[in-house]
Structure 1
Amino acid sequence: MKKLSLLLASVLLVSSLTVACSANNSQGSEKQSGKTESSSKNESASVLVGIKGPLLSLDPANYRDRLTESVLRNVFDGLVTADEKGVIRPAIAESWENTSPTEWVFKLRKDVKFHDGTALKAEDVKFTFDRILKENGIDGKTSPRKGLLEGVKEVQVVNDYTVKFVLSSPWPILITMLPLQQIIPKAYAEKVGDKGLAEKPIGAGPFKLVKAKLDERIEMVRFDDYYGGAPKIKNLAFDVIPEASSRVGALKTGEVQRIHDLSASLAKTLISDPAVDVKTVEGTRVYMLEMNVQKPPFDNIKVRQAMNHAINMDIIIDKILYNYATRLAGPMLSNAFALDTSLKPYEYNPAKAKELLAEAGYPKGFQVVIDSDANNKEVAEAVAAQLRDSGVEASTRVWDPGVLKPMLLKGERQMFMGDWGNSTLDPFDFLNPKFITKDRGNYSMYSNPRVDELLKQGSQEIDNEKRKAIYKEAQQIIYKDAPWVFGFSKKEVEAGVKALQGWNPTPDGSLYMSKVSVGK
C-alpha cells in the first residue's frame, strides 16, 4: 500500500505541473475564461483503478482474457462497440450493410486518428483482421482470437474509407462479434514488428499507453485527438491488486478510485460507507459444475441428474452470494438470445438424488473431488457439504487456473466448479465452445452428435426464428443429458469513490474510463 501511495503521489505531482489540455472535443473547445473550477481540475486529474490480476498482453490480437480486454479497451477501438445494454453501436465504422448472406460492407469515419497522429484507413482494418485470420500470423503463432472470427474468409479494401467482409458461409453474428476486435495501425505494426507492437502498442482509443508492467501497473494518458471526444481526466492507471480485500482497502484509503470484481460479502461491507458508491449490473458469465461424462460415475446420466437434485443452488445464491446472482435453469444466461424459457431449474430434492444414485448402482454414494480456482472456492465448498448430505463423499481442491486448465482439457479431472463468459449473449459464443465435441472449452468431455449438428446449424442460419428453434432443441437435449450441475450468473459488482463520476459497470466487465470525471 505504501508503494501505491508513493506512486500515486508522483503521478499527481507530474499531473499538477502539466499544462491543461482541452476538454471534451465532442462539446467543442471552451474559452479559457469560461472554464469552471471542476473542468480545470479534471484536465489534470489522475485516476487509478485497482484490478484483480495481470494483463496477458498489450497486443490486442494476442490474448483471450476478459480482464486484459477490459483494460485495453481504453487504448484501442473496434469498428463497432456494445453499449451498457449490449446494443451494437457505431465506433470506427459509422455505418454498415449486410449486402448479401456472405458479405458485409462497412463505411469508416474520416476523422479517426491513431495515437501517432496518422489517419485510420481501410488498409489498417484489413491488416488488423488479416493478422488475426492468418495461420501463424503473429510472431510465428496463430492469434488466440481467430476463433472469434470463425465465419470470416477475408477482409477487402473497397476504398480508403470502405471495407468489405467476405464470409465463408452465412454467419449471422458477425456484427455481434466485432466489438471484440480492436484496430491497429498497419504502418507502425510493420515498422516495429510483433514484439515491438506488444511492447509499445498504438491504438485509436481514448487513452495512449505510456508504460506498462503487466503484473504491476499499466499507465495511460489522455488522447486529445480522440474522435469520440477527449477524456475528461488526464492520467489513467490500472494497478494489479490480486486480493479483493486489498483492493477494498486501497479504495477506502484513496489509493485507488475504482475497483472491480467485488465479492458479495465485500460489497455488503462497502454499501454503508458514505464515501463509496457500489454499483451492479447483470453479468454475462455462467457459473456451473462440469462433470466428466467420460469417466465413472459421471458417465451415467442418472448420476448427473442426481447431482442436480442434490445441490440447493437457491440457498447458495442467498447465503453465500447474498442474492448478487441469478439462478439458471439450463446452460444459458437468463437474457441470452434464444433462451428456452420452458426449462425450469432442477428441483432440490435430496431423496430423489439418493433414489437416482441407487438406480445407477451407487446406493452408498461415491467419492468425488471438486476442483476450482480461488474465486469459486467458497461455492465449491458449499456444494461439497450439500453432496455429503446426499451420501456423496465430496471434497474440494483449489488450483492455479494455468495448472488446472490443461488437465481439464485432457479429461483428467472429475468435477469442476468454474465459469465461462458470454459477453455477446449469443449461443454461438457460449454453447459451441462448451458443448461441441472436443471444443476448446468442453471440460465435461460432453459429446452428442445431435447437439454438434444443431450448434453448427445455428451458427450459419440467418433467419432468427429458425435460429431460436435450433438452439432451443439443443438446450433441451443438454438439459436432459445434464453434463453440468446448472448454476447461476453473478452480477458485476464494482465500487468507486464518491468523487469519481461518469462510470458504470458493464455486463462484460469492461473498465471503460473515457467518460469519467473527478468531482469534489
Structure 2
Amino acid sequence: MHILNLIKTILPLTVLLLLTACGEQTQIKQNGLAYCTEGSPSSFNPQTATSNVTLDATTSQLYNRLLFIDPNTQQFKAGLAIDWEVSEDRLSYRFFLRKNVRFHQTDYFTPTRPFNADDVIFSFARILDKKHPYHDVSANGYPFFEGIELDQQIQSLLKIDDYTIEFKLVLPDSSFIANLASDFSVILSAEYGDTLIALNKQIDIDNLPIGTGPFKFKEYRTDNFIRYQRHDDYWGDNAKIEHLIFDITPNASSRLAKLLTKECDIMAYPAASQVEMISKHDRVKISVETGLNVAYWAFNSEQAPFDNPKIRRALAHTINQETLLQAVYYNTGVNAKSILPPVSWAYNPYLKSYKYNLAYARQLITEAGYPNGFKMNILALKSSQVYNPDAVKMAELIQSELAQIGIEAKIIKYEWQLMEKKLQQGEYDSYLLGWVADNNDPDNFFRFQLSCNAINTGSNYTRWCNSEFDDLINQAVTETEYIERVTLYYRAQEIIQQELPLIPLAHSLRLHAYTSGLKGVETTAFGGINFINTERQ
C-alpha cells in the first residue's frame, strides 16, 4: 500500500481511538473516582492472599462475607447471613442466609441463579477439602486459613436447606465468628466454578473474579491500573459512584503529585513526612484512624546466630524507638512493647521495653560467642505500608546502630511478591514487616504469625516454635470467660518478649489523603477501605 494511502487509512482510526479514550476517561472522572494505591494485587481472591494491597483491591469492592465487623462499634453485623445461632456447647454455628442476592454479570460470566447455601459450601470446601477440584488451583494455598488451622477447627459444614448452613466445630473456638468476619472469608460463586471447570479454565476463578460486592471487575493492566464498575443489582444500597479506578503508583511522592494534580481523588498511605505539608493544603484532607497494627523486626530463628535468644535480645537493645518514631513515623505512631497494640482488650500493659543500650548489646553478643560481631542481612519492602511508612529508612537507621557494635548489616530491598517468595524459601537473616489485624480477636495477631503450625503452612516466617506459647493460645480460644482469656494472652505476650522471635517496634496510625470534594471515604482499624458510600459533594 502506498504510504499516503496508509496514512489516510490509519489517521482517522487513530483519532477515533483517541477521542473514544478521552470520552471514556471524562465519563469515568465525572461518574467515578480514582484511588492511588501503592501496589499490584497478587490475586483477585482474598482467600489466597496475605497482603493489604490485595485485600484493599478486592474484599470490600468485589465480595461479601457472611458477617461483618462494624468499624464504629466493633460488633458483628449481618452480611450474606441475616442471622446466626450458636449451640450451648459452642460447637455448632447455624447461619440463615440472605435471599435475592445477585452475583456479578460480566463479559465473561452470566449467573443464572442468586446466591444460596451452595456458594457458602463451595467457598469453604475449596479451602478445607484437599480433594476439592479448586483446592490446588491456588499456587499460594490459603495462607490465612492454614495459619489459623481452619481445617482442624471445622468438623463439618452442612447444608440444611437452600438458605441455611451449619458449621460443626471440633472444639469450642472463641475466635471462630471473628475469623468468618475477616477480610479473607469471602463468598465465591459455585456456579461460576462449575462453568470454569466445563471450560477447563479453573485458574480464572482467582484472576477474573465474580462476587456479590458493590463493584464488579472490568479490567486490569498489570502494575498500571484496575478498573471496576458499579454492580447495579447489589443487595444493599448501591454504590454512589459508577466507576472506580485503582491507579497503581508505588512511590508515595508520585501518589501525592497525582493527588495534587487531581489525577487521583484518594491517596493510599501518604508518607509520614508528607502529613504536615498535606494538612496545610486547603484542597486536600487527611483521614486518621487508630490502627490495629504493629511493625516489627523479625529473625530467622532456625539460622545461626539468630537461633540464640541472647543474640535476639542483644539486637533489641540496639533499637532506639524514639529515633524511629521521629525519623520514620514523624510522630504518626507510638512505641510498641507488644505485638498487640494498646487498643486491644488483651494488651499486656505490664511489659517492659528493651532499653536502647549499645554497650549492653555488645556485651551480650560477646557472651554469645561473637566478640567481633558478624554479618547479616535485613529484608525491607520498598513501598510504604499501613504499619510502616518507610521500611528502607528504618533499615538504614538500624544498620547504623548495628555498625557501632561490630555487626555489618546489608539491606536488601524488595517489592512484596519477591520478598514473600524469599521469606517462604528461608533465604534471609532478618526482615522488617508487620501485621494489620483482620478482626478484633487477639488470636489474629498470634496464631497466623507465630504458632508452630504456621511454620508448616508458610506464614510463620520467624520459624520460631514454642510449645508453651502454642498451648496458651490454643487454650485461650476455647475459653469463654473474659478474665481467663486475658490472663492467657498476657502470658503469651511475656513469652514473646522473653524469646523475641520478633521485636515489636511501633503501632502506626492509618492515614489516607483525599480531595476536599469527597465524602464517605471509609477506612477501618483493620486496614481495609470501602468505597460504597464515597461520593463527590
Question: Is this a same-fold pair by TM over 0.5?
Answer: yes
**1:282-326 superposed Cα distances (whole Å, 9 cap, x missing partner):** 223321111233333333333222221221112211222111112
Secondary structure of 2:216's aligned partner: strand
Secondary structure of 1:430's aligned partner: helix
The equivalent residue for 1:452 is 470
Measure the CA separation in 2 of the matches of 1:459 and 1:6. Answer: 59
1:11 aligns with 2:21: no
AA aligned opposite 1:102: L
Measure the CA separation in 2 of the matches of 1:366 and 1:185. Answer: 53
| Conserved? CA contact 1:279–1:504, under 8 Å | no
Measure the CA separation in 1 of the matches of 2:317 and 2:332. Answer: 22
Q: Tell me how far 1:7 sits from its aligned partner.
A: 9.6
Measure the CA separation in 2 of the matches of 1:61 and 1:331. Answer: 24
For 1:30-429, list aligned pairs within 5 A: 45-72=31-58, 73-85=60-72, 86-99=74-87, 100-116=89-105, 118-135=113-130, 137=132, 138=134, 140-141=136-137, 143-144=141-142, 146-147=145-146, 149-150=150-151, 151-179=153-181, 180-193=184-197, 194-375=202-383, 376-429=391-444
Measure the CA separation in 1 of the matches of 2:422 and 2:230. Answer: 43
Q: Tell me how far 1:49 sits from its aligned partner.
A: 0.9
Measure the CA separation in 2 of the matches of 1:446 and 1:185. Answer: 38
AA aligned opposite 2:189: P
| Residue in structure 2 matching 1:484, options 502, 508, 531 | 502
Deviates more, 1:282-291 or 1:304-313: 282-291
Change over 3 Å in CA distance of 1:274–1:96 after alignment to 2? same
Deviates more, 1:484-493 or 1:348-357: 348-357
Change over 3 Å in CA distance of 1:394–1:200 after alignment to 2? closer
AA aligned opposite 2:175: I
Deviates more, 1:252-261 or 1:347-356: 347-356
Measure the CA separation in 2 of the matches of 1:470 and 1:289. Answer: 24
**1:201-245 superposed Cα distances (whole Å, 9 cap, x missing partner):** 322111122233343222222223322201111111212112221
Normalised to the residue count of structure 2, the TM-score between the two structures is 0.84
Q: Tell me how far 1:55 sits from its aligned partner.
A: 1.6
AA aligned opposite 1:112: V
Q: Tell me how far 1:50 sits from its aligned partner.
A: 1.2
Secondary structure of 1:310's aligned partner: coil
Measure the CA separation in 2 of the matches of 1:8 and 1:381. Answer: 44
Secondary structure of 1:455's aligned partner: helix
Q: Tell me how far 1:108 sits from its aligned partner.
A: 1.9
Aligned identity (percent) is 27
Tell me, which stretches of 5 or more residues in structure 1 are unaligned?
A: 17-43
Deviates more, 1:142-151 or 1:495-504: 142-151
1:511 aligns with 2:499: no
Change over 3 Å in CA distance of 1:8–1:373 after alignment to 2? farther
AA aligned opposite 2:165: V
Secondary structure of 2:522's aligned partner: coil
Deviates more, 1:490-499 or 1:223-232: 223-232
Secondary structure of 2:435's aligned partner: strand
Change over 3 Å in CA distance of 1:155–1:386 after alignment to 2? same
The equivalent residue for 1:36 is none
Change over 3 Å in CA distance of 1:154–1:67 after alignment to 2? farther
Q: Tell me how far 1:339 sits from its aligned partner.
A: 1.8
Secondary structure of 2:432's aligned partner: strand
| Conserved? CA contact 1:57–1:214, under 8 Å | no
AA aligned opposite 1:377: V
Normalised to the residue count of structure 1, the TM-score between the two structures is 0.86
The equivalent residue for 2:15 is none
Measure the CA separation in 2 of the matches of 1:188 and 1:90. Answer: 24
AA aligned opposite 1:514: I
RMSD (Å), alpha carbons: 2.6
The equivalent residue for 1:435 is 450
Q: Tell me how far 1:495 sits from its aligned partner.
A: 0.8
| Count of residues paired in the alignment | 488
Change over 3 Å in CA distance of 1:337–1:6 after alignment to 2? farther
| Conserved? CA contact 1:139–1:195, under 8 Å | no
| Conserved? CA contact 1:101–1:170, under 8 Å | yes
Change over 3 Å in CA distance of 1:281–1:7 after alignment to 2? farther
Measure the CA separation in 2 of the matches of 1:222 and 1:406. Answer: 34
AA aligned opposite 1:317: L
Secondary structure of 2:94's aligned partner: strand
Deviates more, 1:155-164 or 1:47-56: 155-164
Secondary structure of 2:464's aligned partner: coil
Tell me, which stretches of 5 or more residues in structure 2 are unaligned?
A: 1-17, 106-110, 384-390
Secondary structure of 2:531's aligned partner: coil
